[in-house]
Structure 1
Amino acid sequence: MLPLAQFQDFIEQHQLFANDNKILLAVSGGKDSVLMLHLFKAIGVNIGVAHCNFNLRADEAQRDENFVKMLAASLDLPFYITHFDTKKYAAEHKISTQMAARDLRYNWFEEIRDKEGYDFIALAQHQNDMVETVLINLTRGTGIGGLHGILPKREKLIRPLLFLNREQINELIEENNFGFVEDSSNQSTNYTRNKIRLKVIPHLQEINPNLEKTFAANIARFADVEEFLNLQVQKLHDKIINRKTDGIYIPLSEIAKLKPQKLLLFELLKPFGFTENIVDEILNNLKAMSGTQFFSSNHQAIINRNDLVIVEKNVVGVKNQFIHPSTTCIFLGKDEINLSFSNDIKFETDPNKAFVNADKLIFPLILRYWQNGDKFIPLGMRQPKKVSDFFIDEKVPLHLKHTTPILINGNGHIVWIAGMRQDNRYKLTTATKKVAIFELKN
């Protein structure tokens, strides 16, 4: 007999899917996925079968494919198959064979789900898989997220067999006389998961025969703790993080008050790719001089006076942009500069606009970022000033110093520091006949 009541109770308890949803089942042909397939078929859900041939076990892999194909046909179910050159993919991406197989299958499952209109992808992982995952995470090092291991539902992935352990699945397969295929690689200790399964867990079960149930209870607690932590971090985020157009600002005084400091700052900075080691560096340098920088793969954090400012990494390789009289719009990094001309001699006191005496412009103009040694004569002044000193006087954060567009005339003069100040030499006068209007949009 199949445990249909338990199966449906687990689905309802974790709200895995609705009765009218369409579910794509990942079926390898092993005991776990075969049992999952029969359980779904028995409760009358709209399902399809997907199988991956990773071409890792030669004839055995083809045997598995043929078995799953015939099983789907016998149950009158849609069948989807794909073949991967897993070893080639692993070599190209410099990852393990297991990781390559994981990436390939999840990407393909999502393609089929989206293309064929399925609502969820069902995976046949059970309680023993959950125990193995937690042990692997602990061995490699993990945060609280790794302690709850495999969750019953995450986005479009569902795992409806987590109410069963491997022994129970074996018994159900035998009782119901379900056919299946055995993956010989499951007995190989070349893979980390198999080492945990075959060599570590048996010893732990000697200490605790109910290991799977104990881990399931622990994992539920860890999941609750993670949910609570996420709620607290969100409250903290809303309280101390200030999103501005030029970056994300966190007051250093608020960071100093965090308890536990490292955990909370790590959770706040995790969405920006900062690792625990970088968080340690930041905490050790809270009193460092303004301009101290820290980097993740895609962001940088900068000590800027009283704040830690988070910005995306500077655009690498941005070249000078040329502006011709016919140019109406040009981009530098994320900034857009619009150009128009007018015979109406007037101006606005808007820092995002420059009203320039057009007769003094020598085309092509150049739009670029700050360079060491840049000087200009700020509007209203008579003496040149280093742009770097101007930035300091205006309290411009370091990250904006390197990402503020500067408009250069054909003679090398700075015409305008976009969004801040134009050069006094190019201001409108009573003798001006034509105005060039530059506008910054970002």
Structure 2
Amino acid sequence: MQAKFNNQIKQNFSFLLGKKLLIACSGGLDSVVLTHLMKNLNPQIALVHCNFSLRDAESDDDEKFVVGLANNLSIPVFTETFDTIKFAAEHKISTQMAARELRYNWFDELISEYEYDYLLTAHHLDDNLETFLINFGRGTGLSGLTGIPIVHNKIIRPLLNFSREEILQFAVDRNYEWREDSSNKKTDYLRNKLRLQVVPQLKETNEALLKNFQKTQRNLLASQNLIEDYMLIVFNLTVTQVEESYKIDVEKIKQLPHTEALLYELLHGFGFTEWDDVSNLLYAQTGKKLLSTTHQLLKNRNTLLLTKIANEKTSEEFLITELGSETPIKLEIKPTKDISEIGKHIIYVASEKLKFPLILRKWRKGDSFIPFGMTGRKKLSKFFKDERLSLNEKEKIWLLISEQKIVWVVGYRMDESFKVTDKTNQILKITFTNERV
């Protein structure tokens, strides 16, 4: 296996040679074998071990084993102990997700602080098959069936083409020692159930299972690459980016073949799961919208507007004193002697007409004001319609309020009542600079 591994590194991962490498080592069979394989090939390696405090003394013994392995091989080792249960509870996520987040955040810190080039993990072919089956069972698109990426940014998985059986045989032949994780024998987790019960039966019915699975993976990856190239063309044809939002041209996307599949490829990375509902938006009335955990998809005339869901703070009211305040948008208020610079991001108001503290909030149904230059009061809903604002643009609008009166529809129009006149004693210049959040 060493010769096969060395050949693969030279052919497919030559960029690793001579680099400073971290190896994620749990003390289990796979990571121990990867450590020995890389030590024989590249001396510039160090081990990183996470103690997640999930198995009491067993977790501590795993850490001691990895430290001993590093010492025996005369290579550096980094260890870190985490309170995984507490972290999971605080962030309201599963223990598995908490361990993953803690692990990779720490890895990133080590790579940056000690200037390592790459992190190697010991995922192998059987792991990849299990991931395929998990995603297949949950329902996924093509990208979900392509399995674990062999290269992902600075994370490299050089054992993905090796089976668990090959790895085990290599370790036995070399008399390597490793730790057995007792939790791997439990079937509480889906991956363990597949590993212990499902995959062995599949291998019994098909001796060439892993070999055929590799062929399937290569075919799927080739298809995925082809789709990505095509989707770049589709994106440039049908999507327009406006700041942090995206506008999808409904008519153009309808004219293309396989419309539903195209929508999936365009939007699956934004957390949407109900794809029938997404497709129905193409034919829905203006105002219909769908929400994922992170994004909103809104039908507005002949476009679908994709935007991030606003921070919860945007529903609050923010006080602005004469000394200033921390708000979701940056407003600069200062005295001026004359009216010079003009634009939608600037207004000039009569200072004596403002009463601090001012309030910054989102618009509400029933809000009205007297648009600058007019005499009659107009509801904001009618003002927005006249301005031909999309529903998404309306949701982003902030109002500057003084004593329950709208001073400024920020970025659009100030209220006539606050304008500067010949009788104004002091002029205030209010500038909308930028979004804070």
Q: TM-score, normalised by structure 2?
A: 0.87
**CA distance 1:248–1:183, change in 2 (3 Å):** closer
Q: Pick from 92, 103, 106: which aligns with 2:104?
A: 106
Alignment of 1:209-248 (within 5 A): 209-245=207-243, 247-248=245-246
Give the equivalent residue in structure 1 for 2:259.
261
Task: Map 1:9-408; keep pairs closer than 5 Å.
Answer: 9-15=7-13, 17-58=15-56, 60-87=58-85, 89-90=87-88, 97-245=95-243, 247-271=245-269, 273-277=270-274, 279-318=275-314, 319-323=316-320, 326-327=322-323, 332-333=327-328, 335-344=329-338, 346=339, 350-408=343-401
SS at match of 1:149: coil
Task: Kindly state the Cα deviation for residue 69 of structure 1 after the two structures are TM-superposed.
Answer: 2.5
- Structure 1 Cα separation of the partners of residues 405 and 82 of structure 2: 59
Q: Hey, what does 1:3 align to over in structure 2?
A: 2
Alignment partner of 2:35: what SS? helix
Aligned mates of 2:255, 2:41 — CA distance in 1: 54
- Which moves more between the two structures, 173-182 or 163-172? 173-182
Q: Post-superposition shift, 1:384?
A: 1.9
Q: Match for residue 432 of structure 2?
A: 440
Distance 2:351 2:91 in 1: 54
Partners of 1:240 and 1:250 within 8 A in 2: yes
Cα distance in 1 for partners of 2:401, 2:394 equals 16
CA distance in 1, matches of 2:11, 2:360: 60
Question: Per-residue CA shift, 1:366-400, capped at 9, x if unaligned?
Answer: 43332332222223322222222111111122233
**1:43 partner SS:** coil
Q: 1:18 to 1:370 in 2, by over 3 A?
A: same
What is the rounded CA distance, in whole Å, between the counterparts of 2:318 and 2:97 in structure 1? 43
Aligned equivalents of 1:211 and 1:372: distance in 2? 62
For structure 1, the residue ranges without an aligned partner over 5 or more in a row are none
Cα 1:231–1:74 change in 2 (3 A) is same
CA RMSD, Structure 1 to Structure 2 (Å): 2.9
Q: 1: distance between equivalents of 2:170 and 2:25? A: 17
**SS where residue 286 of structure 1 aligns?**
helix
Report how far residue 48 of structure 1 moved.
Answer: 0.9
TM-aligned CA deviation for residue 85 of structure 1 = 4.4
User: Which residue of the other structure, out of 403, 410, 422, is the alignment partner of 1:418?
Assistant: 410
Aligned residues: 433
Kept in 2, the 8 Å contact 1:10–1:163? The answer is: no
TM score, norm. by length of structure 1? 0.86
- Show CA shifts across 1:221-247 (max 9, x none): 222222222232233223322222473
- Is the deviation greater in 38-47 or in 234-243? 234-243
Structure 1: how far apart are the matches of 2:333 and 2:30? 65
SS at match of 1:289: coil
| Structure having the higher Rg | 1
**Structure 2 alignment gaps of length 5 or more:** none
What letter matches 2:330 in structure 1? E
Relative distance call for 1:420 and 1:8 in structure 2 (3 A) is same
Deviations 1:26-49 (A, max 9, x none): 223333222212211111330112
Cα distance in 1 between the residues matched to 2:32 and 2:58: 17
* Alignment CA distance shift 1:393-1:166 (3 Å): same
8 A contact 1:90–1:100 mirrored in 2 = yes
Alpha-carbon offset, residue 309 of structure 1? 1.7
Q: In structure 2, do the counterparts of structure 1 residues 204 and 396 end up closer, same or farther at CA, with 3 Å as the change threshold?
A: same
C-alpha distance in 2, partners of 1:430/1:51? Answer: 73
Q: Tell me the SS of whatever aligns to 1:350.
A: coil
Answer whether contact 1:266 1:274 (CA < 8 A) is retained.
no
Contact in 1 for aligned 2:407/2:415 (Cα 8 Å): yes
| Equivalent residue letter for 1:338 | E
Q: What's the secondary structure of 2:283's corresponding residue?
A: coil
